[in-house]
Amino acid sequence: MAKIGFIGLGIMGKPMALNLLKAGHELTTYDIVVERMDELIKAGARKGSSSKDVAGKSELVITMLPNSPHVREVVLGPNGVLDGARRGLILVDMSSIAPLASREIAAKAQEKGVAMLDAPVSGGEPKAVAGTLAIMVGGPEEVFEKVKGILSAMGSSVTRVGDIGSGNVAKLANQIIVALNIAAMSEAMVLATKAGVDPEKVFQAIRGGLAGSTVLEAKMPLALKGNFRPGFRIELHIKDMANALDTAHELGVPVPLSSVVMEVLQALKADGKAGDDHGGIIQFYEQLAKVQVRG
């Protein structure tokens, strides 16, 4: 089994790291919020004192962090991964960050003899816990083949998309589709409710047809209960949509629907709902229509 370092133990990172332990791997963990390491230590992981320390004890380092600046700091900064890395170390960044940032960090890593993959995930906290995430990977094929089996302990789908940065391009595409799906679901169900039709019965009527989707199955039952406890926070989807819009604008790709949904997310943030699950997009439409879908 591999000697793995895992840096970043938030809502997603902690269950992902636990699944690596369950698969029998030797794990050294680190998070700037020290208490987050406690559950992993109890489960058999070792406690790292810094990102540099973790890298020095590992053959493979996985990072799961909020955004591009955090990954840059953890990998390139003082006491970072590259400070402790030996030649031949593999770095797998599973954060959702800008594709250009992935390429820049990978180039710096290569100078130190460290190979890097970008491997963002989709599925939210439930699939992180279950070990059934969709993992989208960018980077050299020979490096991907070395770690594919390890990644499979965290995901039911592990797909190499292309060269470094490609994983994050795939994640941006994923996040556009998810955000637009949740917004479409929200508009439709608020319309049904305002028309006096039971939204739960509408859900049951349409879920088996062309409108059915993984998003609908995951988010509609929670919306009906008014349960917006975060599996994936609105503020994080704002970050992903910002990266999507920036990347699209750099490439000259118009994304008008994404721009509209971004403003919906920003309105929710301004209303104090940044920490809600992104299924809470429905609250924006409820407020406009002066109706509540939840029972």
Report pLDDT digits (tens) over 131-167: 999 999 999 999 999 999 999 999 999 999 999 999 9
Report pLDDT for 1: 74
Q: What confidence tens digit (pLDDT) does each residue in 92-130 have? A: 999 999 999 999 999 999 999 999 999 999 988 889 999
Q: What's the number of CA atoms in the CB half-sphere (13 Å) around residue 251?
A: 12
CATH number at residue 122: 3.40.50.720
Question: Where does residue 152 rank: exposed (0-12), middle (13-18), buried (19+ CB within 10 A)?
Answer: middle
Domain boundary among 141, 163, 185: 163
Q: What confidence tens digit (pLDDT) does each residue in 73-100 have? A: 999 999 999 999 999 999 999 999 999 9
57 is an active site residue? no
CATH number at residue 190: 1.10.1040.10
Q: What confidence tens digit (pLDDT) does each residue in 231-282 have? A: 889 999 999 999 999 999 999 999 999 999 999 999 999 999 999 999 999 9
Question: Quick check: 225 pLDDT over 80?
Answer: yes
Same-domain check for residues 227 and 118: no
Q: Single out the catalytic residue among 14, 52, 127, 171.
A: 171
Question: Quick check: 295 pLDDT over 90?
Answer: no
Domain boundary among 163, 185, 218: 163
Q: What is the mean pLDDT of residues 208-232?
A: 95
Report pLDDT for 259: 98
Same-domain check for residues 242 and 225: yes
Same-domain check for residues 279 and 144: no
Same-domain check for residues 8 and 105: yes
Same-domain check for residues 78 and 190: no
Question: Where does residue 94 rank: exposed (0-12), middle (13-18), buried (19+ CB within 10 A)?
Answer: buried
Residue 238 placed within a domain: yes
Distance, in Å, from the CA atom of 5 to the CA atom of 133, rounded to the nearest integer, reads 19
Report pLDDT for 18: 98
Report pLDDT for 78: 96
Determine contact, residues 155/178, Cβ cutoff 8 Å. no
Q: What is the mean pLDDT of residues 198-217?
A: 97
Report pLDDT for 124: 87
Q: Which amino acid is at 245?
A: L
Determine contact, residues 128/109, Cβ cutoff 8 Å. no
Q: What are 109-113's contacts with CB under 8 Å, separation 24+? A: 109/75, 109/82, 109/85, 112/82, 112/85, 112/87, 113/85, 113/86, 113/87, 113/88, 113/89
């053959």: which residue's tokens?
A: 59
Q: Which amino acid is at 266?
A: Q
Same-domain check for residues 155 and 201: no
Token representation of residue 23: 């698969």
Q: What is the mean pLDDT of residues 39-62?
A: 97
Question: Which is higher by pLDDT, 295 or 196?
Answer: 196
Residue 295 placed within a domain: no
Report pLDDT for 231: 84
| Average pLDDT of the residues of the chain | 96
Q: What confidence tens digit (pLDDT) does each residue in 24-50 have? A: 999 999 999 999 999 999 999 999 999
Domain extent for 213: 169-289
Under 8 Å CB-to-CB from 177, ≥6 apart: which residues? Answer: none
């994936």: which residue's tokens?
A: 232
Report pLDDT for 270: 98
